Amino acid sequence: MTELRDLYQQLILDHNQHPRNFGVLEGADLMARGNNPLCGDQLDLYVALEDDSIKDIRFEGSGCAIFKSSTSIMTTVVKGKTRGEALEIFERFHRLATTGEVDSAEMVKLAALASVYKYPVRVKCALLAWRTLETALQEQGEIVSTE
């Protein structure tokens, strides 16, 4: 199993066991729900805005370690960012998760997920949180499905 350490890095296991920003956010301005119907991953994402910035972000949900850690890391990365900045990070993360390319030093935490591209069926686990965030920020508030 040790060969899988590239996918399940220490940081991933840590966020899986101790997810950051976990729980309901009272008084959220935006909320979106995401799911992966085929594997049953489920996510409720809450965002509080101040002007155009993400003042606070929290999540609840259940799913695999890749999903949970990716969501947890995302909340730590986008907190304090403007909507535009957050969406721009998503674009770069999307490239990272599908090609393994880490294009800047800012991406250090997210780089823990850089091996996901080698496991195509797991890419959707890593992307669900970001797709759901995108929906929340665009204030569509619909159910996001990555299938």
Partner 1 sequence: MTQAAVDATESLLDVERLRADFPALAQTVNGRPLVYLDNAATTQKPISVIEAVSRFYREDNANVHRAIYELGERATRAYEGARGKVADLIGAPERSIVFTSGTTESINLVAYAWGRHNLGPGDEIVITAMEHHSNLVPWQLAARDTGATLRHIPLTDDNLLDLEAARTVIGERTKMVALVHKSNVFGVVNPVAEITALAREVGALVLLDAAQSAPHFRVDVQELDCDFLAFSGHKMLGPTGVGVLYGKPELLEAMEPFLGGGEMISSVNLTESTWNEIPWKFEAGTPKIAQAIGLGAAIDYLEEVGIDRVTAYLGQLSDHARQVLSAVPGVTLFTPAVGSAVFLFNLEGIHPHDLAQLLDQEGIAVRAGHHCAQPAMAHLGVAATARASFYIYNTFEEIDRLAEGLNQARRFMSG
DSSP 8-state code for residue 26:
T
Query: To which H or E segment does residue 80 belong?
Result: none
Residue 42 or 53: which CB sits closer to partner 1? Answer: 42
Taking CB under 8 A as the binding criterion, the range among 3-11, 47-55, 86-94, 139-147 that sits at the site for partner 1 is 3-11
CA distance linking residue 16 with residue 63, whole number of Å: 10
Looking at residues 39 to 78 of the shown chain, list those that interact with partner 1 (rule: CB under 8 A): 39-42, 62-66, 68
Q: Which residue has the tokens 């823990």?
A: 112
8 contacts partner 1 (rule: CB under 8 A): yes
Residues 6+ apart with CB under 8 A from 79: 21, 54, 55, 56, 57
Residue 21 or 42: which CB sits closer to partner 1? Answer: 42
Report yes or no: 55 and 45 within 8 Å, Cβ to Cβ: no
CB of 122 to partner 1, least distance (A): 7
Residue 2 or 104: which CB sits closer to partner 1? Answer: 2
CB of 6 to partner 1, least distance (A): 11
HSE-CB at 98 with a 13 A cutoff on CA atoms is 8
Residue 15 or 131: which CB sits closer to partner 1? Answer: 15
Residue 16 or 135: which CB sits closer to partner 1? Answer: 16
Give the CA angle between residues 62, 38, 135 to the nearest 5°.
65
Positions that interact with partner 1 (CB under 8 A): 1-4, 7-8, 10, 13-14, 16-17, 38-42, 62-66, 68, 119, 122, 125
